[in-house]
Structure 1
Amino acid sequence: MNHTYKVQRGTRNHKVALAVAIVLIIAAAAMPWWGTSSWMREFVVFSCYFIFAMTWNLLAGYGGMVSIGQQAFFGLGGYTMLILGNFYGVNPFLAIPIGALVAGAIAVPVSLVAFRLQGGYFAVGTWVIAEVFRLSFANISAVGGGSGTSLTALRGISRWTRESVTFWIALACVVACIALIYIFLRSKKGLALLAIRDNEIAAESHGIAVGRTKLVVYTVAAVGAGLAGALYFVGNLRISPDAAFSINWTAFAIFMVIIGGIGRIEGPLVGAIIFWALNKFFSDFGTWYLMGLGTLAIITTIFFKQGLWGFAQERWGWSLFPTTRKLILVPPKNS
């Protein structure tokens, strides 16, 4: 009796989640007409957290490159947007993707330095690179030096238009970020990335271009960080080196990914929701708030080593964005 096999890449939960997501996106797109401006501003902030965490998860969780200096590209995206808007007359909304692309372009020569380092040295080295950028912009008087400056290019645009367009761009960036990373991870390049994370030598022996793949992922992560930075400061309307290049951005991303589940698309989403809620309702408690974040991170790493979503996936088989392949035995049909 001959058996056949098929490769299963999706689940019923995946299809249901896709349908629900489409409905939520349509409802969210209409928020400027039924929601409040505070809701839209909060969503923009959440989007920046999520995009930054999502691309950090791609870099570290899937690529094995643990960087604590991604704030370098976050700040570059924000400053590029501001410079184009304030000094060259480019619409700041159009400057958001340009800022992301500039951050990605700068990541290429930066990688020549960063990739010379391995492990903990790579992590510390990326932080040092970010500090170099912070100090450099702090000494440029044209953009306000260390005290920063305001985004003046949006003057003359009504508040409703500014907030609505910023919200729509944030929504589009979130959807595009999830879709593109999901498509990439389901491709052969995504499998190659996982192989590199597990064992670079073995991956290279199987013909995988390790250096090129790592460069692509590092650049994509920089583009994502730059996109988050440009978007954040369009909504914030003011930028400074300490805010743009703060290590807190990477620390927050690490927290979100660890809480949600590293190496999973759903992880940064769950982590970003939890972090946004904690930051929204408990940040006024100051030191106690920071202690609470640390305690939550410790509890998660001890009792939920794969993160909250990772625990749910292992316990109940939940998977909204399946990237793995399962070989299913198909019994023969009765003749």
Structure 2
Amino acid sequence: MTLPLSAPPMPPGSRPATRVAIGGPAARRAAIAAGALVLAAATLPWWAPAEQASAWMREFVEIACYLLFAMMWNLLAGYGGLVSIGQQAYFGFGGYAMLVLGNFAGVNPFVAVPLGALAAALVAVPVSRVAFRLQGGYFAIGTWVIAEVFRLSVANLAVVGGGSGTSLTALRGIARPVRELATYGLALVCVVAALALVYAFLRSQRGLALLAIRDNEVAAESQGIDVRGTKLAVYVVAAFGAGLAGALYFVGNLRISPDAAFSVNWTAFAIFMVVIGGIGRIEGPIVGALVFWALNKAFSEYGTWYLLGLGLLAVVVTLRFPRGLAGWAQQRFGLNLFPTQRRLLD
């Protein structure tokens, strides 16, 4: 006689393990579409007409810089709750570190781009000891002051051109088509890697801990989360990403100055992109960067009126779409390209 199979008895006082799911069929379809887009972008120089390919590559590098910087600000403020208006300090530091390595140390400028980002991350460690003494609005203003210290310090260094800036002479011997192709390839790798790493981090337990810290630091610490260590890690990672965006921007621009590198406009534009796209969402900076790039190309020649229009647009979107355009699309059509929310299955 065959006895029916049954599950072993559970110990007294125990309960079944809770199963948690992240993502779904829509996310898998989005991953396939994203892979197709990356493949098309990677092969663009070989299938697009030469003149159009050159213009498209330059535009993509510009969008990539906007996206990287906005993504890092979103990670810092949208997910970590650390609202900074001084991230341009690391944007400019990464750019100048790349220039110094290229012009004076003989390092290939394209190799100097990640090295400049690493230099920005390293300098963020001692800077954080000052910035983390401040809380809330004082932290935001303090980071702005730190960025101004960076700008004034670099403006007084004659070796890098002082206040008028200098050019990236290390690329003089490289032909323009080769330079554009290398910059484009580097930008594509940086964007894909940044998106993948941020997405993987936010789906991990450390990402969940970061969200807990953002919502309530006291409650998170009471659950055993290393609040200070997690905030420091996110701050340094955001500095690395900002430095990467700065180094990439100026290796494509070929010229750098303190006012261009450390301008508060960089953080203002990042806030605009994140607010327009949706703060606290990976899709937010992507949508915001595309919108900002399109507006910049169409209306930047209007100067002050253009900046005023950006501000009014941000106010309108905030009132009409509190979750940003990406949040509205998710709510209206169920589009969630980078799901990080946990769903209980049991």
TM-score for the superposition, normalised by structure 1: 0.96
2:188 pairs with 1:184: no
User: How far did 1:4 drift?
Assistant: 9.3
SS at 2:20's partner residue? strand
Aligned to 2:28: 15
Please list, as runs of the form range in 1=range in 2, the aligned pairs for 1:312-331 lying within 5 A after superposition: 312-329=329-346
Aligned to 2:148: 131
SS at 2:173's partner residue? coil
1:260-302 alpha-carbon deviations (Å, 9 max, x no partner): 0000000000000100000011111222222221111010111
User: How far did 1:156 drift?
Assistant: 1.1
Aligned to 1:31: 44
Q: d(CA) in 2 for partners of 1:104 and 1:287? A: 34
1:173-192 alpha-carbon deviations (Å, 9 max, x no partner): 00001000000000000000
Aligned to 1:248: 265
SS at 1:326's partner residue? strand
User: How far did 1:129 drift?
Assistant: 0.2
Aligned to 1:284: 301
Which of 237, 246, 255 is matched with 1:220 structurally?
237
SS at 2:300's partner residue? helix
Which of 104, 126, 130 is matched with 1:113 structurally?
130
Aligned to 1:333: none
Please list, as runs of the form range in 1=range in 2, the aligned pairs for 1:1-335 lying within 5 A after superposition: 6-33=19-46, 34=48, 35-329=52-346
**Rg: which structure is higher?**
2
SS at 1:153's partner residue? helix
Count of residue correspondences = 328
Q: d(CA) in 2 for partners of 1:11 and 1:276? A: 31
1:49-83 alpha-carbon deviations (Å, 9 max, x no partner): 00000010000000000000000000000000000
Aligned to 2:4: none
1:126-162 alpha-carbon deviations (Å, 9 max, x no partner): 0000000000000000000000000000111111110
User: How far did 1:31 drift?
Assistant: 1.9
Q: RMSD in angstroms over aligned alpha carbons?
A: 1.3
The aligned amino acid for 1:27 is A
SS at 1:280's partner residue? helix
The aligned amino acid for 1:211 is R
User: How far did 1:316 drift?
Assistant: 2.6
Identity, in percent, stands at: 69
Runs of 4+ in 1 over 6 A off after TM superposition: 2-5
Q: d(CA) in 2 for partners of 1:248 and 1:242? A: 10
Q: d(CA) in 2 for partners of 1:265 and 1:241? A: 30
- C-alpha change, 1:287 and 1:6, in structure 2 (3 Å) is same
TM-score for the superposition, normalised by structure 2: 0.93
